[in-house]
């Protein structure tokens, strides 16, 4: 498979290493400085693009891939306010996008279990619920996209909550998401249900970026030939 990497930071380098080990070809790895070269590639040269850049750049990169007829796997977070526009353009141009806030298979199973537990726990109002995420100091957005996905899963099951706040909170109407930036932490996410008597906690701790990169490559292998906007639930049939 011929892969175009859009974004060549730590994740891009990890994806390149694992993709080459699986026998795939890296057509090019575009950095921020040469991202303007994206429009020079065609669907005859590239089977799929994998995009890990910044919130400011992601939407234009995705739309350009649609125009080029290149399926795109996107792991950049922080741009979902533009998702309706991206979905409309995807439909208009018969494009293909697989977006995930986190490509780790373990994290996506965590999302699945998170919704199940939230559905059960909301029946017991004596338990307060909070989300916490810890990442490396270089991460630009907070809360993390993964934490927001976790929060969305909880809020679906808690009709009394009106939204989330990026802090601890005792408000019954809001879900607190606590964010910490610490050293080179790859990514830790937890959901805590606490009562006066006990605490129930769900944790996911990433040990390396390889799990994220392997999931992105799995998505890139799955996406070509499809049309529409997809997520990891589609890929993993959750």
**Hey, which residues are catalytic here?**
135, 139
State yes or no: 75 annotated in a binding site: yes
State yes or no: 23 annotated in a binding site: no
State yes or no: 111 annotated in a binding site: no
State yes or no: 170 annotated in a binding site: no
State yes or no: 221 annotated in a binding site: no
In angstroms, the CA 131 to CA 180 distance is: 11
Name the β-bridge partners of 48.
3
State yes or no: 169 annotated in a binding site: no
In angstroms, the CA 84 to CA 68 distance is: 20
Count, in order, helices (H) and strands (E) of the chain. Answer: 7, 11
Q: Which residue has the tokens 């029946």?
A: 123
State yes or no: 103 annotated in a binding site: yes
State yes or no: 171 annotated in a binding site: no
Angstrom CA distances, 143 to 48, 103, 105, 151, stand at 29, 17, 20, 10
State yes or no: 100 annotated in a binding site: yes
β-bridge pairing 174-181 and 187-194 = unpaired
In angstroms, the CA 187 to CA 225 distance is: 32
In angstroms, the CA 70 to CA 73 distance is: 10
Bind-site residues for (S)-2,3,4,5-tetrahydrodipicolinate: 136, 145-146
Bind-site residues for NAD(+): 33, 75-77, 100-103
Bind-site residues: 33, 75-77, 100-103, 136, 145-146
């Amino acid at each position: 498979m011929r892969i175009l990497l859009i974004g060549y930071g730590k994740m891009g380098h990890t994806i390149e290493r694992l993709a080459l080990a699986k026998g795939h070809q890296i057509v090019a790895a575009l950095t921020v400085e040469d991202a303007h070269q994206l429009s020079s590639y065609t669907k005859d040269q590239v089977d799929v693009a994998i995009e890990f850049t910044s919130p400011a750049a992601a939407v234009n990169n995705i739309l350009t891939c649609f125009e080029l007829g290149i399926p795109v796997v996107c792991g950049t977070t922080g741009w979902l306010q533009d998702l309706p526009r991206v979905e409309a353009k995807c439909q208009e141009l018969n494009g293909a996008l697989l977006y995930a806030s986190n490509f780790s298979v373990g994290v996506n199973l965590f999302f699945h279990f998170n919704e199940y537990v939230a559905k059960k726990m909301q029946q017991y109002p004596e338990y307060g619920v909070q989300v916490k995420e810890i990442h490396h100091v270089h991460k630009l957005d907070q809360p993390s996209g993964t934490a927001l996905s976790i929060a969305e899963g909880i809020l679906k099951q808690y009709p009394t909550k009106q939204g989330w706040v990026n802090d601890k909170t005792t408000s019954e109407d809001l879900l607190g998401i606590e964010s910490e930036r610490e050293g080179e932490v790859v990514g830790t996410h937890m959901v805590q249900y606490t009562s006066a008597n006990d605490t129930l906690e769900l944790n996911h701790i990433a040990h390396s970026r390889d799990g994220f990169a392997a999931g992105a490559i799995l998505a890139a292998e799955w996406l070509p030939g499809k049309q529409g906007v997809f997520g990891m639930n589609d890929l993993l049939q959750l």
